[in-house]
Amino acid sequence: MGFKMGIVGLPNVGKSTTFNALTKTAAAQAANFPFCTIEPNVGDVGVPDARLDKLAAIATSKQIIPTRMTFVDIAGLVKGASKGEGLGNQFLANIREVDAIAHVLRCFEDKDVTHVEDRIDPVADAETIETELMLADLESIEKRRANLVRKLKGNDKEAQQQDRLLQEAQEMLESGKPARLVEVDAEDAKAWSMLQLLTTKPVLYVCNVGESESVEGNEHSKAVAEMAAAQGNSHVIISAQIEEEISQLEADEAAMFLEEMGLAEAGLDRLIRAGYELLQLETYFTVGPKEARAWTIKKGTLAPQAAGVIHGDFEKGFIRAETIAYDDYIACNGESGAKEAGKMRAEGKSYLVQDGDVMHFLFNT
C-alpha cells in the first residue's frame, strides 16, 4: 500500500535541498531505513520507527524492513500555474497523484538567496500556492458540472450525487476557502474522494529556518504555526542546510553533529513521521527469526484488510489474527513470554487493528 507526499514550494525556498537531503539521508542510513530512487524526482523512504529495532532485537531477526512513504519533488510552480504558466499543467497533474502536500516555506533570511517575490513572508507564499490550487479546482468544477447536465436531466443518481458534492466544493472555494473544509457525510466519502480536487489534499507546512534557528524556530515559523493551527493543518521546523550537512555524514558522525546542535533527531525524521500522521496512517508489525517488518495501514483498518496489505490471499482466506500489543511483546520479552502471560489474543474479522500490534495471520488457502 503506497502513500505519496508531494513536496511543493516557490523557487529558492529550500524545496529541492530538502528533497535531496531526504534522499541522501535515506540512502546513507543503515538497512533499517533503505532508500531507492524510482525516478529522478521520486524518493521511496523508510519511516523511522525505534519500535522495529527493539522487536527485531528480541526476536533476533536477520532482516529489518521498515514501512515506507514516497516523496515526490513537484517542480514548476509559479504564480499563474492554474492557467498553465511555467510548468503549471505538469505541476497540477503531479499534485493530483499524491495523497498529501508538504509545502516548504522559506523562513530564513539570506541576502545571497533571492526570493521570487523579493520578500520573506512564508504565510503569503503559502497563500500563493493555495490560491493557484483553488483557482485550478474552480475551473475543473465548472467544466465537470457542465458535462453532467445531460445525465442530470435523465435523473442519474450518481450524477446527482457528484453534482451536489461539486456544488458544495464550489461554494466553499468561492468563499475563499479550500475544498477540504467541506463537511462530507460517510455515505458521500467515496464519491468525494473520487473527485480528486487539489484543495482536498491535507497539507503539512515545512518551515525551512536558518541553522541557528533549527531548535526553536523564529518569528517566521511562529507565523506559519499560527496559520497551520487556524487551518487545522500541521507544521514542522527543519533547517535544510543542516539536513544537507547531515546527509553527507556517517550515522555516528550525524548523531554527534545533532547533539552538538542541540537536536534530539534529524528534522527529516520529524518530517517523515509528521507526513505519516497527516495521512492518518498507523503501523503494525510481523516479527520472526527471518525478518521484523513494519506494515502501513490507515487508522480504522479491520484485521482482514490489514492482512490484505501483505497479500490478497491473506484477506480472502482470513481466519483469525494472533495479536500481541507492542508494549506486551516488549514487557514479556517476545512471543513465547507473551503467550505464557496470556497476552496473545485471537482476534477475528471485526477486530480494529491498533498501532503497534504484533500480528500473525491464519488463513485458508
DSSP string, 18-86: HHHHHHHHHHHS-TTS-EEEEETTEEEEEPP-HHHHHHHHHHT-SEEE--EEEEEE-----TTGGGT-T
Give the pLDDT confidence of 141-180 residue by residue, as tens digits.
Answer: 999 999 999 999 898 999 999 999 999 999 999 999 999 9
Write down the pTM of the prediction.
0.80
Q: What is the mean pLDDT of the chain?
A: 87
3-state secondary structure of 354: coil
Q: Is the pLDDT of residue 111 over 90?
A: no
Question: Can you give the pLDDT at residue 117?
Answer: 64
Question: Can you give the pLDDT at residue 233?
Answer: 86
Assigned architecture for domain 300-363: Roll (3.10)
Residues 189, 200: contact at Cβ < 8 Å? no
Question: Can you give the pLDDT at residue 248?
Answer: 83
Residue ranges for the known binding site for ATP are: 12-17
Question: Can you give the pLDDT at residue 36?
Answer: 52
State the CB neighbour count (10 A cutoff) for residue 108: 23
Instruction: Work out the average pLDDT over 202-230.
Output: 93
Question: Can you give the pLDDT at residue 88?
Answer: 47
Residue indicated by cell numbers 465537470: 144
Residues 45, 3: contact at Cβ < 8 Å? no
Residue ranges for the known binding site are: 12-17
Which amino acid appears at position 109 of this protein?
Answer: E
Question: Can you give the pLDDT at residue 92?
Answer: 75
What is the spatial order of strands in the sheet that 234-238 belongs to?
Answer: 35-39, 42-46, 68-73, 4-8, 100-106, 203-208, 234-238
Q: What is the dihedral of CA 151, 179, 70, 55, to 10 degrees?
A: -110
Give the pLDDT confidence of 289-310 residue by residue, as tens digits.
Answer: 999 999 999 999 999 999 999 9
Question: Can you give the pLDDT at residue 28?
Answer: 38
DSSP string, 110-166: -TTS--TTSS--HHHHHHHHHHHHHHHHHHHHHHHHHHTHHHHHTT-HHHHHHHHHH
Give the pLDDT confidence of 7-53 residue by residue, as tens digits.
Answer: 888 878 888 888 888 776 544 343 344 445 455 478 888 888 899 99
What is the Cα–Cα distance from 52 to 42, expressed in whole angstroms?
A: 25
Domain borders along the chain are 4-278, 300-363
Q: Is the pLDDT of residue 79 over 60?
A: no
Give the pLDDT confidence of 226-280 residue by residue, as tens digits.
Answer: 999 988 888 999 998 888 888 888 878 888 988 888 888 888 888 888 888 888 8
Class of domain 4-278 as given by CATH: alpha beta
